Copies of this chain bind each other. A is one copy, B any other.
Amino acid sequence: MNAFNFYSPTFFAFGEGAEHQTGQLVRQFGGSRVLLVYGGGSAKRNGAYDAVTDSLREAGIPWEELNGVRPNPRSGLVYEGIDLCRRAGTDFLLAIGGGSAIDTAKAIAFGTPYGGDFWDIFAGKAKLEKCMPVGAVLTIAAAGSEGSNSCVITQEDGNMKWGSPKSDLIRPRFAVLNPRYTCSLPPFQTACGAADMMSHIMERYFTNTPDVGLTDRLCEALLKTVIDAAPRALANPDDISARSDLMWVSTLAHNNSVGVGREQDWASHQMEHELSALYDCAHGAGLAVVTPAWMEYVMNHDVARFARFAANVFGVEPDYAAPERTAKEGIRRLRVFYRELGLPATLEEVGGRVEDIPAIIERRKQKPNGFPFGGFVKINPDDMAAIYRLCAK
């Protein structure tokens, strides 16, 4: 286990009715004038918008609104939000939704106090030093942004999808988690959420750090929970037990409680971000395509770890004499599981084309620290192209 710092000061209010605490939580964490950030239809249809605004009203907290957040959230709305905050004197960002709404709120929260163009902070030209407090009312179990120290925004001009610097300053002060709000999600979105949270765990699981049995077991516990809960949520969308499991896993998968003290990978996320930036596919769908291909490509780097994954996560009976057989079976079961959830398996199914691969690699090269990436195995341009080709049908 490596040395680490862990600081997750988010207050989590979990369960049915938790949203009624929102106004009081905003006040408790220093908010007196809120910018409400959300998508549009679903927050109004599922009742979250009404419950939250009622709660703000009760607590006597005025708010402005920024709606129209969409999946793979764009820089344009962040600029708009920053402008709104400056004009209104906002001191608290409150997101209703999933990762896209929360990430937009986070970028506004550190973009507003920064004097220049907020994109400087994503591009590494300026430091993230100040951030307004952020709260989240979660309605999608997937991204884990409700407890995480980062956010991802797509630059409108050029379709570059970039992660912010990691900073404890941008962890939400509170998160309201009512699993009931996730019952009305379309099945495909539930499935994409499952793939997203599984990826957050697997990006941490595949590591070169020795002596990480404790966090290995915690990662496996979360992965097994998703494998148990996601099919139940799809079979019966109102299964509140399954929805609860998925919602709390989404948070634990990405607040780093299962990733402390270990080098992490994140190569699959990097490769997926290029796909969703270009094709605007769902992030979880892109991950379902990229991750098994990445696994096949890097498996021989540490067959024992992949064999452990197969045995402890998917219950594959280990073949101790031929661990690569066990390892391969684990990857196959992951593919089968994703397919059963209704997720895509090929580049083409997320709108991609093999012919675009060279251009994607070139775009990646333009990013600061574009290559190599990945903590478990270093991915260079040729590796990235090979993995994308493994994704093609």
Q: A residues engaging B (CB < 8 A)?
A: 1-18, 210-211, 213-214, 217-218, 220-222, 224-225, 228-229, 241, 244-245, 248-249, 257, 260-261
Contacts and interface: CB of A to CB of B under 8 A. Distances in A.
A8 B3 CA distance: 20
Nearest to A245: B214
Contacts of A9: 7-9, 11
Main secondary structure of the interface of A (DSSP, over half): mixed
Contacts of A213: 225, 228-229, 245
Contact of A6 (B12, B220, B221, B244): B12
A134 B225 CA distance: 35
Which of A1, A244, A248 has the most C-beta atoms of chain B within 10 angstroms of its own C-beta?
Answer: A1
List the 6 closest pairs (A to B, CB-CB), nearest first.
Answer: A3-B15, A217-B221, A9-B9, A211-B241, A6-B12, A1-B244
Contact of A225 (B17, B210, B217, B244): B217
Contacts of A4: 12, 14-15
24 contacts: A1-B15, A1-B248, A3-B17, A3-B18, A4-B14, A4-B15, A5-B12, A6-B12, A8-B9, A9-B9, A9-B11, A14-B261, A15-B261, A211-B244, A211-B245, A213-B229, A214-B245, A217-B222, A217-B224, A217-B225, A218-B218, A218-B221, A218-B222, A257-B257
Given A3-B18, A211-B245, A214-B245, 10 more contacts: A3-B16, A4-B12, A5-B13, A5-B14, A6-B11, A214-B229, A217-B221, A217-B222, A220-B221, A248-B261
B7 A11 contact: yes
B7 A12 contact: yes
Contacts of A218: 218, 221-222
Contacts of A214: 221-222, 225, 229, 245, 248-249
Nearest to A251: B6
A260 B7 contact: no
A14 B7 contact: no
Contacts of A220: 217, 221
Nearest to A11: B7
A249 B217 CA distance: 12
B18 A14 contact: no
